[in-house]
Structure 1
């Protein structure tokens, strides 16, 4: 049997394990059920990948994140390790072929979404494999108290009963004590060995500031620390706007959000990783699998929806163990806006049913049909058509995705409108001249009988499946036909692919999910209130507050967070500050920001001194927002 450290050296080129990794790996190799809580940057994947490579057989990895599965498979394949994934939207014949590869092709890893394990025939095929380990990634999803609960995860206990001799390892980066206990209970782990790495990050300063002009402070921070940084915002528009503003001010930035196509995402990511751009402005779509050690600063310009997500995103700073900063900038309007964004847009049972029915109608899915059908989808167009609010509708669709009713893959796609403009005999002649395109062309003709009379929206994914081809190839064929004046073609941008994973059963589907929806909404409200408590509490160390949320008691203040820095500051001499302000204003009129820049004092101290001078009528605030001496 190979040595774990030899495996680490061979495939990862590391000479030692990170804290707790070796102990966790040894536990798995001793066939123990194992629970591993490794906060962000702890190297969770190594904990199941190394022992799986040590042992004979194949490791089943259950993960809800398609992008993360693809990322890990790409990395494993690049190391010469054979790994594949069964995600949503793969036809049954392809799944059979992939499972045959697993059985006879010396594969070491089979990645699955939890929903795939709801298919009995897939379970039967998996039972025929020589399984050496079952890894449950993002295990907090199995807990109803977790921040991304997915009912399909609760079926994993069945897998445990079927394979009692196969060790299980459950891994998560963010779980409160309640969630940790629930994971062990729900998975029915057998006297598991439990390993928890502390959430404490001694080198990371948590800085929370209430500011009016976020962009001004953002610039100040990035000029002060011109190292690789991440700036998190909550929407695509802000992503682009802040990126453009930074570039105009001489700070090299790029951006990343779910609306970019895969080529743009990869290019922008590479530019940041190679430090062609110092700053990455991103939504929460950015971060999975990212391990850039020298990120100096992570700045949140909008409030996060929960502290689990905030901790993970903030924790991408300082993984090289050097001093780093997690900065959160907010103002009073953010609290109101965030409540509108996170709480007021939570769908109730009635709204969920409305969205589901309209989705089915939008794609012309009949009652009792629709399973495994995929469609290109533009959320904005859908909401305009049915006069629905975008965020609330998005949340409803996301909920249906998490519950395994459908798969909402937010990738850049195209809507295709086509009309054939020549008689059918010309189309047949075309396929005889270009036989490589025949299957695609005939697939279109067979499935869209009215395509000679009207422009029809094509489901390019469906055509690709039927022609045993790819969506890109379908579009290429259509462009070829357009160039030869055989068709009229319109291409429109879409931002997602929706695959229905169940047949359409309106009331039955929604009623089954109603209780889960209610408890999830209540949980999200509690989590958001925890965020508000964290940012507005000015009487405790920020590190202590975060650690307490995750169930850790810290005795000493961190001495580097915004609260500790403020507490340890010497009380200013306001008489001296007021004198300096008057000296400046005798020379020329100035704004408060200009005075702050010159005097190098905190905003709060400056405002206090200005208020004193205004009350004494020594200075006057002008309509231009500058101060002048009262003469």
Structure 2
């Protein structure tokens, strides 16, 4: 395949193709529908970009991720390749110009979201373009059993009618056997060539540790492995907290989450990429397009939502082929917290119906009206007005957005940011001199511990509710603090824009989509159960458990995961340690770290024996995480 290799060398400066890339490109060039399952970091984009460059015409790329589309278009343009993305926020006149450029300007790649294809006039324009290949990226979104189902993907198969001789290339990094079958069926692919790269990452040691003091274990891991690391957390507050705690312990740490400005994201990312920071603490907003080869350790300190996300995030370790670690730290309370985080906030049909009716009433939309009406929308005010839980409401709205009933123009973001400019002792001095402001200020400080270090997004309705004051009273205090130069305060109107895509029909509207809701809720429960199985099964190779989830059978243990290393360790006699612990607890209650220090044993051995004593009913664990002898 000399021509393909020449293009690879000319534009990407690679001298060889990675595993399966050549075979996939051959299949596409021969006009075959092609399905490719290539785990994170496998080089999926080359599989359509090289044949797209070889053939006359334009490669149409359908992707759900705006950030990824922009990133790939920028990369192609930097290589001197003409590419365009039709993303949100582009006016119709500009869209017409871009499509004119595609038709007459010798462009090679056109990126669109599946929702864009539902616009009749855009589809009409695309039908008249010289399309040479249709690539469906993140193809698992077409499956109701996939972890990120997008109903708009179901309509992609209509392109087969307009381009019967143009091959489809479906790409995904994570698909179970059921999802794979769905992708092929729902996209209407004709006897596709199928290529699947193994999910096995032989250089990654998957580790699961049950610990009480996660920060202490992180400290041990980072000292032992001082190379670049990622710590994944669940929310923005944890990003700031863990990063600050690590800095206090002497580690160079930074953070990354969706609430940062583009400038802050780039700055923090560069600190980590250039290894001026050893560790970056991040939410799942961090990851798209991250390809740092020498990441030694990826640590999750909370249970992930599903194995798909965990595999992708863990897979950012060890891309240079050297041994790396994917560590999941758990504690006894994690399961309850995770169920609260992911399962208890799932909206059912009754809640969805109530929320939708209240939403229509909120904007005074009459029955049978409302189509194409657009409103500025503040989620927090809406939830406060009707007493709805915020996360459950957001999940319900996101579901209706996915079904096309509503359109949310952006993710919800706070209207206010602030930062304290004076030291904490001066703030305390101010509150003692201004007792009327004290409750509001202390509520802010308790809620936003990072407010001294950086501009922090501020939830006005929540602070008002927590401090038992009105929003007007909170704002008055903020303005007073700003005037006295105690805080830097910025306010901007960046509510979400909400568009109603259908007329209001209340239960009829919800009944049309509720079957999808039930399936998605069931899927999320199944996926969480798979995560719990991964954590709880202590007598199975962790790599085997991951491969089994994706329908791949491992013939042997990996030899390096948290289970496998126990097989190679010499068997210990834990009786002496057990007796020593029981003796210590006769004098006082202790936590595991105190027991470890007093017995001079490893934390793994201490935790193992404590678990045995708990299971045998000799001990109980108190709310303060201290162990006591059972009476």
**What is the TM-score of this pair, normalised by structure 2?**
0.79
Task: Give SS of 2:326's match.
Answer: strand
The 2-side partners of 1:285 and 1:189 are apart by: 32
Task: Give SS of 1:41's match.
Answer: coil
Q: In the TM superposition, what is the alpha-carbon distance from 1:510 to its structure 2 partner? A: 2.4
Task: Give SS of 2:563's match.
Answer: helix
Q: In the TM superposition, what is the alpha-carbon distance from 1:135 to its structure 2 partner? A: 0.4
The 2-side partners of 1:189 and 1:50 are apart by: 21
The 1-side partners of 2:580 and 2:70 are apart by: 60
Matches within 5 A, 1:162-201: 162-201=162-201
Change (3 A) 1:138 1:259: same
CA contact (8 A) 1:259 1:411 kept: no
Task: Give SS of 2:198's match.
Answer: coil
Tell me the residue number matched to 2:271: 271
Change (3 A) 1:201 1:597: farther
Q: In the TM superposition, what is the alpha-carbon distance from 1:500 to its structure 2 partner? A: 2.5
CA contact (8 A) 2:211 2:607 kept: no
Residue 502 of structure 1 pairs with residue 501 of structure 2: yes
Residue deviations 1:133-192 (CA, integer Å, cap 9, x gap): 110000001011111111110111111122011111000000001111111111111111
Task: Give SS of 1:562's match.
Answer: coil
The 1-side partners of 2:204 and 2:357 are apart by: 47
Name stretches of at least 5 consecutive residues in structure 2 with no aligned partner: 418-488, 615-620
Task: Give SS of 1:318's match.
Answer: coil
The 2-side partners of 1:146 and 1:128 are apart by: 32
Tell me the residue number matched to 1:38: 38
CA contact (8 A) 1:408 1:498 kept: yes
Tell me the residue number matched to 1:468: none
Q: In the TM superposition, what is the alpha-carbon distance from 1:378 to its structure 2 partner? A: 4.7
Task: Give SS of 2:205's match.
Answer: strand
Residue 371 of structure 1 pairs with residue 372 of structure 2: yes
Tell me the residue number matched to 2:3: 3
Tell me the residue number matched to 1:67: 67
Matches within 5 A, 1:135-284: 135-284=135-284
Question: For structure 1, which segment, 86-95 or 31-40, has the greater mean C-alpha deviation from structure 2 after superposition?
Answer: 86-95
Residue deviations 1:581-608 (CA, integer Å, cap 9, x gap): 99999xxx99752563687744353367
CA contact (8 A) 2:140 2:149 kept: yes
Change (3 A) 1:169 1:49: same
Change (3 A) 1:239 1:355: farther
Tell me the residue number matched to 2:469: none
Residue deviations 1:103-162 (CA, integer Å, cap 9, x gap): 112211111111111122211110111111110000001011111111110111111122
CA contact (8 A) 1:258 1:411 kept: no
Residue deviations 1:345-393 (CA, integer Å, cap 9, x gap): 1011232234344455556667644638474x55434433432212111
The 1-side partners of 2:82 and 2:58 are apart by: 10
Tell me the residue number matched to 1:409: 410
CA contact (8 A) 1:357 1:506 kept: no
Q: In the TM superposition, what is the alpha-carbon distance from 1:409 to its structure 2 partner? A: 2.5
Task: Give SS of 2:264's match.
Answer: helix
Tell me the residue number matched to 1:347: 347
Residue deviations 1:396-448 (CA, integer Å, cap 9, x gap): 122223223314523767589xxxxxxxxxxxxxxxxxxxxxxxxxxxxxxxx
Question: For structure 1, which segment, 502-511 or 565-574, has the greater mean C-alpha deviation from structure 2 after superposition?
Answer: 502-511
The 1-side partners of 2:494 and 2:223 are apart by: 35
CA contact (8 A) 2:252 2:278 kept: yes
Matches within 5 A, 1:453-492: 492=491
CA contact (8 A) 2:360 2:504 kept: no
Tell me the residue number matched to 1:424: none
Task: Give SS of 1:321's match.
Answer: coil
Residue 593 of structure 1 pairs with residue 599 of structure 2: no
Tell me the residue number matched to 2:305: 305
CA contact (8 A) 1:255 1:282 kept: yes
Residue 546 of structure 1 pairs with residue 546 of structure 2: yes
The 1-side partners of 2:133 and 2:611 are apart by: 66
The 2-side partners of 1:14 and 1:612 are apart by: 54
Change (3 A) 1:157 1:581: closer
Tell me the residue number matched to 1:456: none
Question: For structure 1, which segment, 34-43 or 94-103, has the greater mean C-alpha deviation from structure 2 after superposition?
Answer: 94-103
Residue deviations 1:273-313 (CA, integer Å, cap 9, x gap): 22222211111111111111111111111111111111111
The 1-side partners of 2:182 and 2:394 are apart by: 28
Change (3 A) 1:583 1:538: closer
Task: Give SS of 1:259's match.
Answer: coil
Task: Give SS of 2:277's match.
Answer: coil
Task: Give SS of 2:85's match.
Answer: strand
The 2-side partners of 1:311 and 1:412 are apart by: 28
Aligned residues: 546
CA contact (8 A) 2:145 2:178 kept: yes
Change (3 A) 1:169 1:591: closer
Tell me the residue number matched to 1:286: 286
The 1-side partners of 2:62 and 2:351 are apart by: 31
Q: CA RMSD in A?
A: 3.3
Change (3 A) 1:566 1:373: same
Task: Give SS of 1:60's match.
Answer: strand
The 2-side partners of 1:107 and 1:360 are apart by: 43
Residue deviations 1:293-335 (CA, integer Å, cap 9, x gap): 1111111111111111111111111111110001001112110
Tell me the residue number matched to 2:87: 87
Residue deviations 1:185-223 (CA, integer Å, cap 9, x gap): 111111111100000010001101111111111111111
